[in-house]
């Protein structure tokens, strides 16, 4: 056999002295073919270097059994957990994932979306980059009736579903908790408010302050990418304030910025929570490593990813209609730890 010629099912059939139809069924795990024969077919396919022509079969069926997943960053515990949930759901239903990251850049998001469209994905799962202002780049999907599910960072659209949590309520509750600990000067480390998650967390924080007759000060709301460096920069901002003007608590819209702000303040000699209490968001593993452990919000990434992918797959299989449910809201619980417990120190 020529080295540059594609191996076909006919080559496998000839090698095993069976029909091409038997090989085709065996490669598809058809129960009509015995397990022992299927194993022989698979072993021979591997031996001969057979590659399934999924592109040709997808053209015939108009399905690729592939879902596109587009996230802001892969190096995030929350996003990796969400992808793990999607992978589990996809595997259970015979789907594969194509995963890409925008790196918080809308232009890269547009290119990745176009690539997935051209790869003929059956559906798209997307969490938007921090600077995405419109979703015009997703119009090809909507026009072709390729279903789109937004998760975490969402954009409302009549022909899609959004899966997330009640960020407003979670932020309200965590701010209320800080207030219950005697905190009256609470700073918020937030993300770009173009994204629903950060706008809603900001709104919840501010409303909790208003409801408890506390000031809402612009200088106590810092906006950033919520990175490690952003947390360190926030600590420097706090340290540069006069001692009597410093906040007595910080609520960060993620755990990473909260932890790195804590570390820098501790290095400067501040005590947590005695001098300044802390609360984060997501319940990343880092929240349980820092001392004192970080109060946070449990954001169930794996459950979120599994729910989003399952909802999309059920639509593709005709089990449910994506367009009948515009929003799926998962539960997010407050996780109280020592970083915010000022009252505990007085007991």
Shared domain for 249 and 147, answered yes or no, is no
Who contacts 49 (Cβ-Cβ below 8 Å, separation ≥6)?
Answer: 7
Shared domain for 193 and 341, answered yes or no, is yes
**CATH code of 232's domain:** 3.40.50.2300
Question: What count of residues does the chain have?
Answer: 347
The share of the chain scoring above pLDDT 90, in percent, equals 77
Shared domain for 160 and 171, answered yes or no, is no
More confident residue, 53 or 301: 301
More confident residue, 83 or 61: 83
pTM, entire model: 0.81
How much is the pLDDT for 27?
Answer: 86
Shared domain for 176 and 282, answered yes or no, is yes
Shared domain for 84 and 217, answered yes or no, is no
Asked which of 54-58, 76-80, 195-199, 289-293 is least confident by mean pLDDT, the reply is 54-58
**CATH code of 47's domain:** 1.10.260.40
CA distance 19 to 338: 69
How much is the pLDDT for 53?
Answer: 63
Shared domain for 225 and 338, answered yes or no, is yes
Shared domain for 136 and 103, answered yes or no, is yes
Which of these, 84, 158, 156, lies nearest to 309 by C-alpha position?
84
How much is the pLDDT for 90?
Answer: 96
Shared domain for 43 and 102, answered yes or no, is no
Which residues form the domain of 14? 9-52
The share of the chain scoring above pLDDT 70, in percent, equals 94
Q: What is the pLDDT of residues 260-296, one digit of tens each?
A: 999 999 999 999 999 999 999 999 999 999 999 999 9
Shared domain for 37 and 84, answered yes or no, is no
335 upstream amide cis, omega within 30 of 0: no
CA distance 41 to 46: 9
Q: What is the pLDDT of residues 35-59, one digit of tens each?
A: 999 989 988 988 887 866 655 555 4
Q: What is the pLDDT of residues 123-163, one digit of tens each?
A: 999 999 999 999 999 999 999 899 999 999 999 898 899 99
Task: Inform me whether the pLDDT recorded for 331 exceeds 90.
Answer: yes
Q: Are 73 and 103 in contact (CB under 8 A)?
A: yes
Task: Tell me whether residue 1 is in a domain.
Answer: no
Who contacts 239 (Cβ-Cβ below 8 Å, separation ≥6)?
Answer: 264, 265, 268
Shared domain for 185 and 103, answered yes or no, is no
Number of domains into which the chain is organized: 3
Q: What is the pLDDT of residues 104-133, one digit of tens each?
A: 999 999 999 999 998 899 999 999 999 999
């Amino acid at each position: 056999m020529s080295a540059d010629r594609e191996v076909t099912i006919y080559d496998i059939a000839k090698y095993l002295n069976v029909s091409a139809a038997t090989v085709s069924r065996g490669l598809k795990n058809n129960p009509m073919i015995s397990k022992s024969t299927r194993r022989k077919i698979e072993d021979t396919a591997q031996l001969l270097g057979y590659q399934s022509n999924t592109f040709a079969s997808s053209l015939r069926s108009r399905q690729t059994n592939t879902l596109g997943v587009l996230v802001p960053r892969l190096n995030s515990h929350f996003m990796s957990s969400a992808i793990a949930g999607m992978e589990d759901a996809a595997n259970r239903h015979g789907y594969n994932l194509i995963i890409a990251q925008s790196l918080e850049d809308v232009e890269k998001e547009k290119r990745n979306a176009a690539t997935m469209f051209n790869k003929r994905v059956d559906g798209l799962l997307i969490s938007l980059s921090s600077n995405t202002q419109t979703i015009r780049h997703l119009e090809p999907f909507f026009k072709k009736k390729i279903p789109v599910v937004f998760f975490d960072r969402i954009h409302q659209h009549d022909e899609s579903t959004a899966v997330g949590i009640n960020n407003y309520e979670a932020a309200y509750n965590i701010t209320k908790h800080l207030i219950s600990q005697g905190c009256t000067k609470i700073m918020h480390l937030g993300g770009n408010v173009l994204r629903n998650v950060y706008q809603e967390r900001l709104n919840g924080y501010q409303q909790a302050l208003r409801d408890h007759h506390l000031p809402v000060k612009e200088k106590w709301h810092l906006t950033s990418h919520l990175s490690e460096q952003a947390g360190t920069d926030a600590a420097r901002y706090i340290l540069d304030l006069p001692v009597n003007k410093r906040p007595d608590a910080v609520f960060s819209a993620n755990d990473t910025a909260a932890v790195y702000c804590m570390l820098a303040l501790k290095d400067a000699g501040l005590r947590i929570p005695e001098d300044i209490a802390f609360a984060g968001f997501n319940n990343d593993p880092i929240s349980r490593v820092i001392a004192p452990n970080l109060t946070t919000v449990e954001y169930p990434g794996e459950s979120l990813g599994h729910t989003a992918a399952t909802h999309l797959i059920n639509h593709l299989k005709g089990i449910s209609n994506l367009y009948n449910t515009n929003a799926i809201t998962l539960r997010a619980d407050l996780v109280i730890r020592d970083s915010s417990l000022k009252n505990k120190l007085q007991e």
